[in-house]
Amino acid sequence: MKIAVVGATGATGRRVVQQALAQGHNVTAVARHPERLSSADRLSFVQGDVLSPGGLTGALDGVEAVISCIGPEKNLSPGTLMSVGVASILTECKRANVRRFIMQSGIGLSDGHELSCPNRFVVRVSGRIFTAAVTDKAVAERMTQKTDMEWVIVRPVVLADKSAKGRYTAGPLARVAPLVPLSFDDCADCLLRAATDEPNWIGKIVNVGS
């Protein structure tokens, strides 16, 4: 498949690019500073800022699935990166006739009803601390849900730079533990599954964690 990763220089985005290449896909890495990535066979680069008007024009031509791994630098002052950025990705997806869109969101967007009682408390408290980030991501999630593309919203738990377990819990309304870290690699694997497989996830919010 031809897959584009937006936010390809981030902790998750880099792993999605590596794993997609290892699986034999053709990958377009879209990033503000694509020169930070090493070149590889089947990998092309597009310089693009999701906040700059028209900043993605042409970036997604010929792409079948787009994975957004963008995220704000500071969760306490996130600005409008997610709402404005995802809107600009979706506009370009539509122009380029992209079939599937995967948005990396976060478990903090859950209202907690599918989680255990203590974990429901955890997401509610974190929602109060990171209100601005949750509000901005909620707008991005709603826009994603309104597209007529095949979409999947992936909500990971807290992520960590540790070895992939290869075994994790993922699925619509999956009961995950928000504070038990998942490796970036396992999260990347889940995002790629959402982009290339998993027909039952289309049009759903998928929690991923342990």
- Where on the chain is the footprint of ligand NAP (CB under 6 A)? 7, 9-13, 31-33, 49-51, 69-71, 81, 85, 104, 106, 156, 158-159
How do 150-156 and 159-160 pair as beta strands?
Answer: unpaired
Q: Tell me how far, at minimum, the Cβ of 159 lies from ligand NAP, in Å.
A: 4
Q: Tell me how far, at minimum, the Cβ of 28 lies from ligand NAP, in Å.
A: 13
Nearer to ligand NAP, 12 or 83 (CB): 12
Nearer to ligand NAP, 74 or 113 (CB): 74
Q: Tell me how far, at minimum, the Cβ of 87 lies from ligand NAP, in Å.
A: 12
For residues 128 and 206, what is the distance between their CA atoms, to the nearest angstrom?
22
Q: Tell me how far, at minimum, the Cβ of 115 lies from ligand NAP, in Å.
A: 15
Nearer to ligand NAP, 106 or 127 (CB): 106
What is the per-residue DSSP string for 132-194? HHHHHHHHHHHHHHHSSSEEEEEEE--EESS---S--EEEET----TTS-EEHHHHHHHHHHH
Which token pair is 173?
């309304």
Instruction: Indicate the residue whose CB is closest to ligand NAP.
Output: 10
CB atoms within 10 A of CB 152: 25
